Structure 1
């Protein structure tokens, strides 16, 4: 997945020990080509796939001593929302999940994971196993690393080297997950169901417009001024009728969690997964930027969709002669978005204002959209901080910016953003 470092560890011991499967379900073909499951011993899987099989997390305790003793960083991770409990993680470490099949998809793509039987939603599958080591930007290539400390945290800990979990030579079943785009319509629908079940009475008593709030959340997740945004699925146009409905979309999510005061990446299902369906996670923006490549897509049954069967609609991007400023502006915006998703609103406001200042230094039409998007997200942050007056001001300033956006190539995106801000403004309490 993200960032590979080839440096050899001086000392590697299990920091978190997990039981591995005694027999691993495997097939030379995915379900679309008549999946026939055989059960491989660990050494057989290792010989076939050329890696060391483990579900544990390894590292050099001497190299990690300063990193793992940073109390601020650990406190930040501990306060991240929606983490599985240590008890839940411990249960999975001692009882490895055995309802997944490693399937060979083809020689160019390699392997993928499929459900051997129906899997309920919110099921913890595994942690991202491998070796913790320094991540070097120049080595973002082989696709078996997962950066375990988010960039939003690293901005606060610049003196510490970035760490990642490398599964290139040693890892578990999680290393076989392929990329699948996120279906935010399905995600929002499920979120609505959960919120109504848990907070339905409170929502009714306070006359909260849940549909509008969820739509605003979707727009905030989808649209940002970055070239590669989270609206990947909406940017796909398929030539064959019904092909989009057969597309394998993201059904697993990652959570940065602490186990025994060691940061780990835990994977669990987003939705219920049916027997023989593809099991995958979105690799997100940084992966495709770092490897300078485009994703391949699959049907739920593992059939590879030929590239001539779809086209990627051009994603509007901020164009500027001053690329370094644009890059910095986008980086701060993405950090702000991540803080917003993590509900750390004060930090999000700080990053978004830095991004806004940088966009203000640019003259391109795209920079207007960048500034308007910052204003829109700032309004969401101030709303959550109960600063309604400032939220209203940010909405109005965003709409004012969009009124000056005359670039027709960006018109569709500007119209979507305008509707989002207008709805956001209507939902705010009157002051």
Structure 2
């Protein structure tokens, strides 16, 4: 059977194609010469399947779409405190190239505007890295997000650096406030090289898919950054990624996103999919006109708004039954689904409101797909308290969804791979 998804992507591209509004970024000569009729869309699932349509393999410069990925690399390299000391996370409400800084400290308001991105670039790589080493770190990091080796487009770099007057002024200001330690020209050159990396729409979908997949590249299976870094990055994308149009974007589209003045646009829907579009005509915010239209259609057609929460699933407790011989019964609690706080609370409440009378209690995780850190602690605390109440507790965990369970002081648990230990009917 042929998947309907490529056909859908082709249809939505055809629907937005007549829109000729907007213009290429004429303040950068190399970008001004881009073919304004290029159009592409791609999706990358968290298990590594890429769907695309249109000019999805055409190369263009990444530009500001590099910002969230460089921010993630800086967080991974220097730690949260060091990065937050130099770059805030507040929406600016201003255009991407405005001097949006804190009046007293000179700290850029967020890493998605140019001032914040220049400061963020200076925080990539280990402390003491040279400018060349930082550029190399950024290219290596962007390549890891894309799952293939990426290169700088030197013609774009030289075109941009010759006209980077405003970014030079931003860098001079950052240097005056000791936000960056480099010579301002060196800092701008490194940031401009970062923006000049060549990508395709399919590359961007994979990069966004890596964010959607908790920092693990869906194609290579290799971790790029931690889940904690991804959470921070996606949060800043949601509030600041679309510049002074971020509020309208988040309410209307509802996907953490980032645009670039070459016409690229990405979105990452956590746990589901990475999305990328390409169309060089930009609106007054510097965002792709047809790209924004495509994302609006994706949200409407596929229910991708982050706040569009599905109805509550079935109870985390699939069943509760008694097994074993009458003189040695076991209370078996079978759990199911993905366990997070709400699901784990329901399990704990069941033990509280209907405590088992049997001396032996088994908790089956055979139908559980994942347990997050909070649910893990809650389940193990329930095990500990059941032990303190005099029960022998067993975990049926054939797929090791809860590795190395330690119930803590006073708790005991025995892990089994099946129910054969018990004399079941």
Say whether the fold is shared (TM-score over 0.5). Answer: no
The TM-score with structure 1 as length reference comes to: 0.22
Q: Which has the larger radius of gyration?
A: 2
The TM-score with structure 2 as length reference comes to: 0.22
